[in-house]
Chains A and B, each alone.
Chain A
Amino acid sequence: MYRYDEFDHAFVKARVSEFRDQVERRLSGELTEDQFKPLRLMNGVYLQLHAYMLRIAIPYGTLSSRQMRMLAHIARTYDKGYGHFTTRQNLQFHWPALKDIPQILEDLATVEMHAIQTSGNCIRNVTADHFAGAAADEVADPRPYAEILRQWSSLHPEFSYLPRKFKIAVTGAERDRAAVQVHDIGLHLRKDASGRLGFTVYVGGGLGRTPMIGKKIRDFLPEEDLLSYTTAILRVYNLHGRRDNKYKARIKILVHETGTEELATQVEKEFEALKESELKLPAADIKAIDAYFAPPALPARPEGDAALKAATAANGGFADWLRRNLNTHKNPDYASVTISLKGIGEVPGDASADQMDAVADLAERYGFDEIRVSHEQNLILPHVARADLKAVFDRLVEIGLATSNAGLVTDIIACPGLDYCALANARSIPVAQEISIRFAQQARQEEVGDLKIKISGCINACGHHHVGHIGILGVEKKGAELYQVTLGGSGDENTSIGEIVGRGFGPDEIVDAVETIVETYLAHRQDKNEPFLAAYRRLGSAPFKEALYGREAKAA
């Protein structure tokens, strides 16, 4: 993975000192809250319902064991013994005291981490496929490009005060696991006919109150043009993006109001002027960053298949886990392991300090010191020898992280919602927990098959509900929580925005509604090989409306 150079170390250290001084001046009263708030936000510090919240950047979701142990240390020392992994591959602590945050940032800096640009109207943490560098179906590792974008966008003077926040995602396989089409800029790595690497470029995707699918403005952008083209997009946005209305300030609105063709013309014009500038990436520079992400030397471990055969025969739970929680690795002796942070009835994305330490140990012992955070709020060990899977599973069982539900109905994304978040209108986590308990039985989950439920506690859509196969949006109506359901959303290479199925459901109705939707799917699917999303796309919403609302739906 990327290692800080001297410049990076000095830069982060200076930033920590600066923030320490700002906090001291705030606490002494020298700075007012109005003066301090933008400064704390630039360092990832929010004020939420119960306490401050610190959002720590995990660039493209990649962590070393040492970094994970530091997160565990911070959870134990300054917080309440746990952390929350987010849909942007970051980590949030929900209870830090303001007075402690400079020290937390100083501790983080010792392991090459920080909280810069995890808030504010700037370019946020660049996200990527969590199986990057390991997946068998990968064209190229997206992380070197994400790292180049990270370096370029960190404290970029021209793009530190954009009309609104700006999110970039990069994926490197045909199968898009980074939801690139719902980002401000989505980059899909491809090879052209001559074998050159480049990107299909999407712009203006996003969720929130106005969900939009990104528009393709380039079929193929050669890799050396990554920064010049991205700069061109940002320049057009910075100049023309709306600053008069916060709710219309994202680039998706600019793309929508300008028209894709006109916007693409403007971008191309800027790009022409920048194409041969210093932003053009020399092959040597790309190679230098690539080297940081060189795959670990994976020794041959051909004994894996025999070991797995014996172990699965002896342990049904292990067989379930193998079936659900592995992703095919480039090297047939290895696999990528999904460590589910979605234990039945647990809080999606939460991990205790002890669990973080244990995952760090596993990564060190069996996983070449690499951990990933997925935008689906799970952890990944990207490179594990198949021969070691049983040992990893056994340890995960001990620490309560061996749930065999990756991609199943209980593998639910949920934002923190009204249990923590100052913006939320309704709770998300209890809904996720109740659905998880309802569908706890392994056989039933597997009978249902691949099904993504995503829950947000407000219109800002941190829980990605618009792209859930079943999406749930919590709102407040007449002082009570109400849950609106969308169906048919998807955040992959065939992105779609879910359609609202009908009137919302109360907290005591929503789990039954989800179960009704699932049962309707089971009753109508062609066979077991037709997953929920495919069935919905074939059937449309009618049978689901009928099942949910009965006569009411017919009358409408």
Chain B
Amino acid sequence: MKLLTASRLIDGEVVWLAADNHWAEDIAHAEIARDEEAVERLEHAGREAAARNEVVDVNLIDVEFVDGAIRPIRLRERIRAAGPSIHPDLGKQARRGVLAPV
């Protein structure tokens, strides 16, 4: 399972591509690609969004489901999805009850 993630150009906010082709600030809203075709669609949408200067640093990441929630495989992406592990009061984790990064 893969998601497409990026950083929003104007402020650097971490975002994920959601089903309706908008960039969600919450990983829970990301569109999950479960097959090659879906991955290609995400990548295409990512290239177009980068060309439109909405986002930068577009990357596909591997994820899994844990207790019904999306969890990136790599710690780096879990920290991006939550915020600094040392500052539960900052970043996305401060805004809502996201998964702890570790």
Residues of A within 8 A of B (CB): 26-27, 29, 32-33, 47-52, 80, 95-99, 347, 418-420, 424, 427, 429-430, 433, 476, 479-481
Contact = CB atoms under 8 A, between A and B. Distances in A.
8 contacts: A49-B14, A49-B76, A50-B14, A51-B11, A98-B9, A429-B84, A430-B85, A430-B86
A479 B91 contact: no
A52 B12 contact: yes
Contacts of B40: none
Interface string B11-48: 11110000000000000000000000000000000000
A419 B85 contact: yes
Nearest to A428: B86
B12 A418 contact: no
B13 A419 contact: no
Interface residues of B, number: 25
B50 to A, nearest CB: 7
Given A52-B12, A80-B90, A33 B79 contact: no
Given A97-B10, A99-B11, A419-B86, A47 B73 contact: no
B80 A51 contact: no
B80 A50 contact: yes
Nearest to B101: A419
Nearest to B77: A49
Contact of B85 (A95, A97, A427, A479): A427
A482 to B, nearest CB: 12
A403 to B, nearest CB: 18
Contacts of B13: 51
Contacts of B63: none
Given A418-B76, A420-B84, 13 more contacts: A26-B53, A32-B53, A47-B7, A48-B12, A49-B79, A50-B83, A52-B12, A97-B11, A98-B9, A419-B84, A424-B76, A430-B85, A479-B74
B52 interface: yes
B50 A49 contact: no
A352 to B, nearest CB: 12
A40 to B, nearest CB: 10
B86 A433 contact: yes
B75 interface: yes
A331 to B, nearest CB: 40
A418 B11 contact: no
Contacts of B91: 50
Contacts of A52: 11-12
Contacts of B75: 418, 476, 479-481
Interface in B56-86: 56-57, 73-76, 79-80, 83-86
Given A50-B91, A427-B85, A433-B86, A99 B56 contact: no
A47 B76 CA distance: 14
Contacts of A99: 10-11
Contacts of B57: 47
Nearest to A507: B102
A433 B9 CA distance: 33
B80 A49 contact: yes
Interface in B87-102: 87, 90-91
Contacts of A476: 75
Contacts of A347: 86-87
A96 B7 CA distance: 13
A429 B83 CA distance: 14
Contacts of B11: 51-52, 97-99
B79 to A, nearest CB: 6
Nearest to B11: A97
Given A49-B79, A49-B80, A419-B86, A33 B50 contact: yes
B52 A29 contact: yes
A50 B11 CA distance: 10
Contacts of A418: 75-76, 79
A379 B3 CA distance: 43
A265 to B, nearest CB: 45
Contacts of A49: 14, 76, 79-80
Given A427-B85, A481-B75, A27 B9 contact: yes
Contacts of B14: 49-51
Interface centre among A48, A96, A347, A419 (most CB of B within 10 A): A419
B10 A50 contact: no
A64 B74 CA distance: 43
A220 B33 CA distance: 65
Contacts of B56: 33, 47
B39 to A, nearest CB: 21
A430 B88 CA distance: 13
A93 B73 CA distance: 28
